Amino acid sequence: MEPTLEGAMALARSATGPLSPHLPAFVTSLIDQRYAVVCVRAKAWRATAFDAWLATQGVELADVQDVHVDEFIRRPYRPRSDCQAPPRRHEPNAVRQLLGYLRGQGLCAAAPVVIVPADVLVASFAQYLRRERGLATATIGYYRTITRDFLVHRFGSECIALGALHATDIIGFVQHQARRLSARGLKHVVTALRAFLRFAQYRGEIDEALISAVPAVAAWSTTPPLPRAISAEHARRVIESCDLSTVVGRRDRAVLLLLARLGLRGGEVITLLLEDIDWDAGRLCVRGKNGHQCLMPLPVDVGEAIAAYLQNGRPACADRHLFLRSRAPLRGLMHGSDGVGSIVGNALRRAGVDAPHKGSHQFRHALAVRMLQGGASLPEIGEVLRHRSPLSTSIYAKVDLAALRPLALPWPGSSS
């Protein structure tokens, strides 16, 4: 018999344990988030099983904690003889999702948070990066993670004494990270460490000499690197690969056009809200790095693609983000490769484009290269790409070889 939403709701109503009054509402929340019927039925079944187990253990709703979830998952279990899948593979995530829902409703205590002295200092560091340095939220989050790992590696759960730091502590941490990271990842680690040590110097707890103890990482490349631009033909094929008869295809085409025509960063596409589009004026409000906002013209083809998604694709949802996930839970796109990066990667595969670079930034580079070849100046390109420093735009001078060739001096002794 095929699972149905009515069957899932009936299963939730049949529960008699401490969670039973709230299981129908939990199932309703799953339906509102657009989970598939089979998924709702499976989550409802596991929720009622957890409810029944809590009843046998004599656990009240207000007392439910993560330890009970762990004990439930480890309980003795005999799978059916005809079961081919690994037993209870999805059970941990389903039960933890139920616990998260109950905590969100204030029905049981939140998970206990263990705070070590490093957390207090890291929070102060993050505030400094936000207020004094104006860094992006994603960058601050990455710096926080690296800094906390460093402090815990050096001090553990003890009080933090930055004055006790030595060069060997810093070098030892970088060597420890080098065992698991690539050269590119290790460069991010040393950048975060230097930022934290500058913060410590700003507080007067270390001297400048300790900052120079952070080792450099050898990663051979051009300085600055050459822009990684997708060709115009490949970009066209990627955009045309979207199936406009599907919701996902209409959404992906709008996203790809924003990348290709306006040169938006992936994170800027993710943070777009419904109210950021001024349809009457034909403008788009873009939230860039460091919280800066910029009004950009909305090209006709981009506006038509967004309108097609909004009218015949985007599901009704309380989330105000312009682009939503295609799978439950229904919310805005995720940052990182699971969001715009996956849209670009899937489109490249559909179009049969074997690009050496899979990320969304190649469309931004391609826009700058086309502008340069069309006669635009570097300041004009920097204005379109919303660069705060001319150095960020100067990398595109390398790609216009025809303009650079007359500047090359003849080789001494040659006939030219």
Catalytic residue among 234, 314, 321, 387: 387
Catalytic residue among 34, 148, 361, 386: 361
The residue to which tokens 């207090």 are assigned: 120
In terms of DSSP bridges, do strands 277-278 and 293-297 run parallel, antiparallel, or are they unpaired?
unpaired
pLDDT for 61 equals 95
265 catalytic per annotation = yes
In a domain, 140, yes or no: yes
Which residues are within 8 A (CB) of 325 and not within 5 positions of it... i.e. 6 or more apart? 331, 332, 333, 334
Q: Are 189 and 297 members of one domain? A: no
Q: Which CATH number goes with the domain that contains 156?
A: 1.10.150.130
75 catalytic per annotation = no
Catalytic residue among 176, 289, 331, 335: 289
pLDDT for 81 equals 58
Whether this model's pTM surpasses 0.85: no
d(CA 256, CA 250) in angstroms, rounded, equals 10
Domain hosting 318: range is 232-401
Q: Are 15 and 162 members of one domain? A: no
- 140, 128 contact by CB (below 8 A): no
Q: Among 104, 128, 158, which residue terminates a domain? A: 104
In a domain, 18, yes or no: yes
Which residues are within 8 A (CB) of 370 and not within 5 positions of it... i.e. 6 or more apart? 232
pLDDT for 255 equals 96
d(CA 267, CA 341) in angstroms, rounded, equals 10
Question: Residue 386: left (phi > 0), alpha (psi -120 to 50), or beta?
Answer: left
In a domain, 109, yes or no: no
364 catalytic per annotation = yes
Of 101, 119, 123, 121, whose CA–CA distance to 110 is shortest?
101
261 catalytic per annotation = no
Catalytic residue among 35, 128, 309, 396: 396
Q: Are 199 and 343 members of one domain? A: no
Q: Among 104, 126, 149, which residue terminates a domain? A: 104
Q: Are 237 and 277 members of one domain? A: yes
361 catalytic per annotation = yes
Q: Are 309 and 367 members of one domain? A: yes
Q: How many domains does the chain have?
A: 3
- 358, 364 contact by CB (below 8 A): no
Catalytic residue among 253, 265, 314, 325: 265
- 265, 364 contact by CB (below 8 A): yes
Catalytic residue among 144, 251, 253, 364: 364
Q: What is the mean pLDDT of each run of 10 residues along the chain (416 residues)?
A: 84 95 95 91 95 96 94 80 62 94 92 86 94 83 94 93 94 93 90 95 92 83 66 92 94 96 92 94 87 88 96 90 90 79 92 83 88 85 83 71 56 60
Q: Among 42, 71, 104, which residue terminates a domain? A: 104
Q: Are 143 and 184 members of one domain? A: yes
101 catalytic per annotation = no
Q: Are 179 and 306 members of one domain? A: no
Angle, vertex CA 238, rays to CA 235 and CA 239, nearest 5: 90
Q: Are 371 and 248 members of one domain? A: yes
pLDDT for 159 equals 92
pLDDT for 240 equals 95
Of 143, 247, 237, whose CA–CA distance to 195 is shortest?
143
